[in-house]
């Protein structure tokens, strides 16, 4: 017997990273802006996305969405009511989406016919942050009911985000939401990040968010 040390220096998620790179170049070529929406369960990702899809469609944009959940196609059915093409990804117990699942669920869609593709990740503030899905913009969502210190508790996710959305602003007051603290905490983890204060119910913050999407599409796609 001889003992030997073999150097590997290999990324553990190499397979996912390679698939994500492939997806990213496909998205770039097609000129579609892809966003990955991440939050805890119950933040209101689906309601926020529902409104975003509807408003984008009303303004003439071509949009589609992939939505990840452990089980059920409830969210896909809700989102489809916006009229946009939507596909459900059931992970059956896996706590995050992976690039391979995205690739598989895009089959048959002509990416060049889309302006925006939204990916709603599984509700989870930890695991999705390790998995690149080929997106251009990672969006972290936080609701006014969750506690202003959430970004401090989950720095790995908030630090990897490109934009932050505060949801349910319409009930901020009864929830005793400390807006200044929330903004400060997000900035403490991800200095300079764009933050949108929104309500899917009243439509507050949506014009700013849609303007940002249009800007990002032109800048990056």
Partner 1 sequence: MHELSIVSSIVDTVIEKLEAYPGARVKEVRLRVGALAAVVEDSLQFCYEIATEDTPLQGSKLVVNIVPVLMHCERCAQDVEIASLQSFRCPRCDEPVSDLRQGRELEIESIEIDEVEEKV
Which residues contribute to the site for partner 1 (CB under 8 A)? Answer: 1-15, 94-96, 126-127, 129-131, 152, 155-157, 159-160, 187-193
Which lies closer to partner 1 via its Cβ, residue 90 or residue 159? 159
Which residue, 14 or 219, has its beta carbon nearer to partner 1?
14
Closer Cβ to partner 1, 3 or 59, answer by number: 3
Tokens linked to 112: 């060049």
Write down the least CB distance from residue 11 to partner 1, Å: 5
Convert 92-111 to b/e letters by CB count within 10 Å (16 or more is b).
Answer: eeeebbbbebbbebbeebeb
DSSP classification of residue 112: G
Q: Select 82 or 185, whichever has its Cβ closest to partner 1.
A: 185
Closest approach, Cβ 100 to partner 1, in A, equals 11
Q: Which of 166, 72, 68, 159 is nearest to 121 (CA)?
A: 68
Q: How far is the CB of 3 from partner 1 (least distance, A)?
A: 6
What six digits make up the tokens of 74? 């409830």
Cα distances from 19 to residues 98, 105, 132, 136, 149, in angstroms, run: 9, 14, 9, 14, 34
What is the rounded radius of gyration, in angstroms, for the C-alpha atoms of the chain? 18
| Nearest approach, Cβ of residue 205 and partner 1 (Å) | 23
Would you say 11 or 42 has its CB closer to partner 1?
Answer: 11
Backbone angles phi and psi of 111, in degrees to 5: -60, -30
| Under 8 Å between Cβ of 98 and 16 | yes
CB 20 within 8 A of CB 133: yes
Q: How far is the CB of 191 from partner 1 (least distance, A)?
A: 3
Q: How far is the CB of 158 from partner 1 (least distance, A)?
A: 10
Q: Please, are residues 48 and 165 in contact by the beta-carbon 8 Å criterion?
A: yes
- Choice between 94 and 171, CB closer to partner 1: 94
Which residues does 77 contact at the CB level (< 8 Å), separation at least 6? none
């Amino acid at each position: 017997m001889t003992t030997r040390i073999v150097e590997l220096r290999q990324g553990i998620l190499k397979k996912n990273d390679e698939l994500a790179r492939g997806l990213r170049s496909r998205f770039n070529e097609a000129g579609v802006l892809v966003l990955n929406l991440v939050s805890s369960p119950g933040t209101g990702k689906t309601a926020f996305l529902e409104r975003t899809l509807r408003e984008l469609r009303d303004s003439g944009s071509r949009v589609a969405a992939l939505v990840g959940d452990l089980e059920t196609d409830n969210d896909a059915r809700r989102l489809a009511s916006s009229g946009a093409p939507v596909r459900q990804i059931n992970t059956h117990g896996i706590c995050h989406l992976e690039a391979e699942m995205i690739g598989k669920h895009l089959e048959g869609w002509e990416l060049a016919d889309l302006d925006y593709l939204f990916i709603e990740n599984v509700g989870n503030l930890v695991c999705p942050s390790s998995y690149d899905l080929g997106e251009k913009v990672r969006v972290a969502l936080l609701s006014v009911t969750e506690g202003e210190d959430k970004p401090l508790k989950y720095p790995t996710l908030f630090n990897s985000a490109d934009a932050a959305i505060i949801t349910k602003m319409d009930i901020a007051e009864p929830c005793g939401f400390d807006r200044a603290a929330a903004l400060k905490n997000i900035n403490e983890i991800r200095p300079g990040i764009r933050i949108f204060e929104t309500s899917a119910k009243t439509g507050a913050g949506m014009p700013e968010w849609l303007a940002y999407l249009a800007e990002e599409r032109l800048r990056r796609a």
